[in-house]
Structure 1
């Protein structure tokens, strides 16, 4: 009953509405999302400037306006107002409360803690209370329970105006403990890995020590927060979890205050990862990777990357250092033009609509560096055996499989944060020689390599007829494959990580826009070439859950 509600047709309103289709009219198939920037979270046609002007005039309303679980509407006087789900859809809110509360009471005999969480969550969602308390309760559930549930307005990808509003989702999961040894070892190395990242020490994420003064942040982690990495099987997905793509993992909660106080939980959906690897990622990899590296495509490599991607969401800055002019009335004897006030705001708030793309890219890049730091022995788990949990062979599998998965993400269209983040990586890797185009069967690098191939594709565009290729016709470029130089791969991603971490730490939205515009907004010819090659591979899974 808990699951059925979120999947009903009228519940589509809760996560902003969907207008998604697959466009097959071009040279390759791609998901098209026609949802407007305001989605269903703000009145139709609302702009960022309108909201900002209203908040400037009514600063006391900002907190409620920007809360993850409120919906912004206009009153009879055409002013913006923030409403809860009960205000906007009272009947739907009643049904939501009834089913989630009932689920909690039914399971309380077998699992009192989970039952109590669901009962409290139902009340908070229905009454429009801040969700921090129940988010904290969910983190505290930890790894002690075989069954787990995530429900509420959580992921903010659909809010293209501010990245503040959560789309409603429900995920029901069953624990799969087979990866426990590796996950615990990786979690133990998080702090050591973060210390190797190319960023300022003050951006290392941690809780505030009792020795610190209020507002002060020191370089060392004295009290690292708790972090959980859990392998589960998804037994039901509803709402944002399954649209437009069924996720492979999540890192929650998103609230930086809760993360800093209680830590985070990372769920890897083992059954989803396994199926996507078999049906989508491996077939893509076999079409784009050089034959000498196709053996590196593996389920283990995909699982490693997803694990480290989720852990890496918790690495790096949580707050941005924002410099703001000091108003002249505050210090009338000095020129305000020469003075700035340093303040800290959550990275999500500093980067607004750019946050999701930058953060997803950062998690991918830092996750790759994490795996290679372990494989190269730069960081070690002192509590484990001498053999690293990820060795060099496994790290190569992780990177090769991730490369194939980048093309999978791009096929969801460049309105998607994951697609933008993936395209940034592909363009960066190619520009820095970490991947190159080579004739299959030839493992020697051509000095003119990529440039010559790309120029040839452009020059012979009439021969590079994408529509003919989709219909099965061959071209003279069919034997081009991507080859990975793993040393350049590590070096170039380290440089990209530095840029991403500094964008987040400094809250530099302009730099974020420039990075996205240069590397994540347009498909280069060689990427289009491979998207055509993989056009017969499924874009995503159509999952059906047996709830009998």
Structure 2
């Protein structure tokens, strides 16, 4: 599929975009090698896309700032990457099974990524639906009242956007001759890669705030919205790579003191300085796992960190009792589009 991937990477100016083929490997629970077929039909939002275009050019400098030794960040992201916003009008196959995709970073082929980069497609209407119908109610139930003002759609959009950008950072080939990271980590590769993208996304947002590149946004908004997003994604369950990744992040951040829970109200509060420290620590841990191709280490990490404590399970059950949905159903077809 490499010729198709390379051709699709050049088709950046279309108003209508189609993504189709065997793409994601999450359904292969044995080795994580076999891809499932899916399709999207998307309409480009040119106004929002214009706001995003400049971030793709920052990848090489951000790669050099990753909190790991030089060997783990020696690879250089492809310089032909781009970043655009779309409204989704059609999901099919694996894309329409279970939780709905709100952002895409493709192609997945590591050789293509290093040679030519990736395209990052943010599905704005799907994001807005999940923010309004799920994230805001989740925050109302589980985030401390005086921090709820930090929940914003712009922060939610940025967190997801930089999650997708972060897939292009880090390391694709192991340092010890074990092949690609995906080959070496087998069925653990998907969940660890999603965790990497979450954490490096926050790392990038923090660095860009420090550079003054994200004017008009407050960094604390990103952190509090990220914590609310962890609760949203954990509910996808252990069968989801995103769900497992978020459970592991929650456990790691809790141990680092990045947030606290008030036992009386059952609500959570972000400790902003400790959150920044925890982001760097977890980013370094994940990148080392990937660079070393440490399958046994990742497996232990996911088993230990992926467990939900009784208190967290109780808090998640509260969301269900309030009838807060786990995900949205995408209404589509000719009747909806009229």
2:141 counterpart of 1:287: yes
Q: Secondary structure at the match of 1:376?
A: helix
2:208 counterpart of 1:354: no
Contact 1:374 1:390 (C-alpha < 8 Å) held by counterparts: no
State the match for 2:333 in structure 1: 546
Q: Structure 1 residue 390: deviation in Å? A: 4.7
2:220 counterpart of 1:389: no
Q: When you count helix as a share of all residues, which structure comes out higher?
A: 2
Aligned equivalent of 1:408, options 232, 240, 243: 232
Matches within 5 A, 1:461-480: 477=264, 479-480=265-266
Contact 2:195 2:249 (C-alpha < 8 Å) held by counterparts: yes
Runs of at least 5 residues in structure 1 that lack an aligned partner in the other structure? 1-130, 207-220, 323-342, 378-386, 439-452, 454-476
Spell out, residue by residue over 1:200-249, the C-alpha distance to the aligned partner (whole angstroms, 9 max, x if none): 3333365xxxxxxxxxxxxxx5x843111111111100011121111111
Provide the aligned length of Structure 1 versus Structure 2. 333
In the superposition, the TM-score normalised over structure 2's length comes to: 0.94
Contact 1:281 1:405 (C-alpha < 8 Å) held by counterparts: yes
Contact 1:185 1:389 (C-alpha < 8 Å) held by counterparts: no
Q: Counterparts of 1:261 and 1:196 in 2: how far apart (Å)?
A: 21
Q: Secondary structure at the match of 2:179?
A: strand
Contact 1:205 1:314 (C-alpha < 8 Å) held by counterparts: no
State the match for 1:526 in structure 2: 311
Runs of at least 5 residues in structure 2 that lack an aligned partner in the other structure? none
Q: Structure 1 residue 344: deviation in Å? A: 5.2
Q: Counterparts of 1:165 and 1:173 in 2: how far apart (Å)?
A: 25
State the match for 2:199 in structure 1: 365
Runs of 4+ in 1 over 4 A off after TM superposition: none
Q: Structure 1 residue 532: deviation in Å? A: 1.8
Q: Please tell me the root mean square deviation across aligned C-alpha atoms, in Å.
A: 1.6
Q: Counterparts of 1:423 and 1:532 in 2: how far apart (Å)?
A: 15
Contact 1:175 1:231 (C-alpha < 8 Å) held by counterparts: yes
State the match for 2:279 in structure 1: 493
In the superposition, the TM-score normalised over structure 1's length comes to: 0.59
Spell out, residue by residue over 1:347-397, the C-alpha distance to the aligned partner (whole angstroms, 9 max, x if none): 1001011101110001000101110111122xxxxxxxxx52255x53222
State the match for 1:28 in structure 2: none
State the match for 2:67 in structure 1: 198
Q: Structure 1 residue 317: deviation in Å? A: 0.3
Larger Rg: 1
Q: Counterparts of 1:541 and 1:155 in 2: how far apart (Å)?
A: 20
2:40 counterpart of 1:186: no
Q: Structure 1 residue 186: deviation in Å? A: 1.8
Q: Structure 1 residue 260: deviation in Å? A: 1.5
Q: Counterparts of 2:74 and 2:127 in 1: how far apart (Å)?
A: 28
Q: Counterparts of 1:528 and 1:273 in 2: how far apart (Å)?
A: 25
Contact 1:320 1:507 (C-alpha < 8 Å) held by counterparts: yes
Larger relative CO (CA 8 A, sep 6+): 1 or 2?
A: 2
2:11 counterpart of 1:141: yes
Spell out, residue by residue over 1:503-531, the C-alpha distance to the aligned partner (whole angstroms, 9 max, x if none): 001111111011101111x1112311220
Instruction: Tell me: CA distance 1:518–1:191, structure 2 relative to 1, closer, same or farther (3 Å).
Output: same
Q: Structure 1 residue 181: deviation in Å? A: 4.2
